[in-house]
Structure 1
Amino acid sequence: MSSPLNLPGWRHVYSGKVRDLYVPADASTGTATGGTEGVTDRMLAADRMLVVASDRVSAFDHVLSPGIPGKGELLTTLSLWWFDQLAGGDGGRRIPNHLLASHTVGADDAPLSLVPAEVSGRAMLVKGLEMQPIECVVRGYLTGSGWAEYRASGTVCGIPLPEGLHDGDRLPEPLYTPAFKAPMGEHDENITFERSVELTNPQVAAALRDLSLEIYRRAAATAEAHGLILADTKFEFGLDADGVLTLADEVLTSDSSRYWDAAAWATGETPSQRMASFDKQIVRDWLAAHWDKQGSPPELPGEIVRRTADRYRELLARLTGDLP
């Protein structure tokens, strides 16, 4: 993993698999939490934090080499677009998020950007949150590890499903399948809703579930309007200083979600062929075919890197009509 950047006025405090977290250089140690990629320890009290998306790419809990050129900016741009949609841009109610209202300080005629030029376009200025230890996964379609479990036992994360479903089928209703966020390098643990209650409390656990399902349904409708299927996704939430449950980290990106082309899906083409996916499934498939998950993963070929970058760009263009 590459070393964190030396950003003037900021102090690096954490690196996840694909994002780095900074606080103001003069921030003092305290009891609030910052949040990205499973940062659940109580860390630093800061009125603002900087979440920087790198070009690193991960699969099977490993950071791979090389990275995907431009990935950090592409995913940050998409997250910001989705935060705007969920703030009421899609006609729904406003979902609170961790973004700070302004990235500048100072006089109107000479504003000072709070985001360093070195990470402009791939950084989000956010407020500190008490991050919840739950990864909120919502599955609208049967695929991936869910498909593997269904073939073995007829369930997904222990939830019984009707017989006769196939890889890529739409589920009767979206499933909320929470996971416990493991430390970096370890596998997240699928848990029951009851276990999520034990890890938080009944009110928070229910709110995480209900909010996750609401966001998924809204995002799936938006994606459908752009000829896309949102097969599944995952969210992270934290509590702000007022106790408000707040959407954090990245949201609905190619790294945290599976997107498929709706027209290809309608033809019956199975997702296992993956030619119509707009996420890092290209990387997962290549790695699964060329690595036994023992030792260090092999280096990604240039073609896999290029194809993945192209799919990330196409997703952003199809959803937003623009590129950074």
Structure 2
Amino acid sequence: MIDLPLVARGKVREVYDAGPGQLLLVASDRISAYDHVLPTPIPDKGRVLTQLSVWWFEQLSPVLDAFGATHHLISAADVPADVAGRAMLVRRLEMLPVECVARGYLSGSGTKEYEATGSIRDVALPPGLVEGSRLPAPVFTPSTKAELGEHDEAIDFAAVETAVGASRAAELRDLTLALYGRASEIAARAGLILADTKFEFGLDASGGLVLGDEVLTPDSSRFWPADSWAPGAAQPSYDKQFVRDWLTSPASGWDRVSPPPELPDDVVAATRQRYVTAYELLTGRRFD
């Protein structure tokens, strides 16, 4: 048990008060999809999310420095023993009410919106794109930050300006796309396509911009193997799309209204392997 006051419990993480200006962020093995927390955990998922985030914070530091920003990680070592490997000691922030999404490829909800409107929110895209198409340039497509059990809603840039001010909105857009660009280059060297990802930012006590939450994990990003990329259909992936696909297949029998079903053993094992593979390919380290 963690002998600290619980601040919040999300779909995947618990957040604890770790003293003045600090929080303990603990990742569980829970997995969510379609705004539901599924009843079946994915073994080792919490460790993958945490250790991959720690690695990415280091990789992204040059970009953050260039923007005069930082990240929230203090330590992944100075944490309680019973959550070691899946917990981070981080700075307490005033989180901004926007999820900063960057897309370099058309996929998921972005494809549906494009097929209906030819754009994603206020970002017009050229005709002829299909599921999996590479976009002419990465785009910023933010969304709201929903409470547990509620649904994130895509918003246009004007809504971000209303929420945080015009100057801060431009800073969020530019930094999000710069971080995506850096991460895409790193992923490409590992033989992966970073199709899209989301970042969350907060402000420190002096008003400085800080990258928070987790970063560039299979929970918050789509990673595709580059050698099998073929626009026109759903791509093989190293993320939780495998779970989403099973949940919407006839095999699950789920109506997306009632509580979600237990995941079969083979889906659990295959999902765990995808998370571990993403970690190993990106970092060049063996997960154990």
TM (norm. structure 1) is 0.84
The code of the aligned residue for 1:54 comes to S
The answer as to whether partners of 1:87 and 1:94 remain within 8 angstroms in 2 is: no
Counterpart check, 1:181 vs 2:145: yes
CA deviation map 1:179-219 (0-9, x unaligned): 11121111111111111111111111111111101000110
User: Is 1:119 matched with 2:119?
Assistant: no
Alpha-carbon RMSD: 1.9
| Displacement after TM superposition at 1:234 (Å) | 0.3
On the 8 A contact 1:86/1:92 being kept in 2, the answer is no
One-letter amino acid of the counterpart of residue 22, structure 1: Y
- Residue-by-residue CA offset, 1:112-132 (whole Å, 9 max, x unaligned): x74111100000000100100
Q: CA deviation at 1:172?
A: 0.6
Counterpart for residue 11 of structure 2: 17
- Correspondence 1:183-198 to 2 at 5 A: 183-198=147-162
Give the structure 2 partner of residue 37 of structure 1: none
Does 1:278 find its partner at 2:238? yes
Q: Is the 8 A contact 1:133 1:199 kept in 2?
A: yes
CA distance in 1, matches of 2:33, 2:232: 21
Alpha-carbon displacement from aligned partner over 1:256-308 (angstroms, at most 9, x marks no partner): 0000000001xx26551x4x300000000001113221211111111111001
The 8 Å contact of residues 146 and 152 in structure 2, kept in 1 or not, is answered as yes
Aligned residue pairs, count: 284
Question: Please, which moves more after superposition, 312-321 or 83-92?
Answer: 83-92
Q: Provide structure 2 residue ranges, at least 5 long, that are not aligned to the other structure.
A: none
Write the letter of the residue equivalent to 2:14: D
SS across alignment from 2:5:
strand
Distance 1:251 1:15 in 2: 18
Q: Displacement, 1:70?
A: 0.4
Distance 1:84 1:129 in 2: 19
Contact 2:64 2:70 in 1 (8 A): no
| Structure exhibiting the larger radius of gyration computed from Cα positions | 1
Q: How does 1:79-118 map to 2 (within 5 A)?
A: 79-88=53-62, 95-100=69-74, 102=75, 114-118=78-82
Partner residue in 1 for 2:2: 7
Shift of 1:15: 0.4
Q: Select the residue among 220, 223, 227 that pairs with 1:256.
A: 220
Structure-to-structure mapping, 1:1-324, within 5 angstroms: 6-8=1-3, 10-24=4-18, 46-88=20-62, 95-100=69-74, 102=75, 114-265=78-229, 268=230, 270-272=232-234, 274=235, 276-289=236-249, 290=252, 291-322=254-285, 323-324=287-288
Tell me how far apart the structure 1 counterparts of residues 65 and 92 of structure 2 sit (CA, whole Å).
27
- Is the contact between residue 138 and residue 213 of structure 1 (CA under 8 Å) also seen in structure 2? yes
SS in 1 for 2:179: helix
Matched residue of 1:174: which SS?
strand
1:23-61 deviation digits (Å, cap 9, x = unpaired)? 13xx5xxxxxxxxxxxxxxxxxx3211000000000000
Tell me, yes or no, if the aligned pair for 2:27 and 2:46 is still in contact at 8 Å. yes
- Counterparts of 2:274 and 2:111 in 1: how far apart (Å)? 23
Conserved? CA contact 2:69–2:208, under 8 Å: no
Instruction: Give the alignment's TM-score, normalised by structure 2.
Output: 0.94
Higher RCO structure (Cα 8 Å, ≥6 apart): 2
Helix, strand or coil at the partner of 2:41: coil
2:121 and 2:275 map into 1 onto residues whose CA distance is 28
CA distance in 2, matches of 1:69, 1:156: 35
Q: Provide structure 1 residue ranges, at least 5 long, that are not aligned to the other structure.
A: 1-5, 28-45, 104-112
Contact 2:17-2:24 at 8 Å conserved across structures? yes
Percent identity between the two aligned chains? 51
3-state SS in 2 of match to 1:175: strand
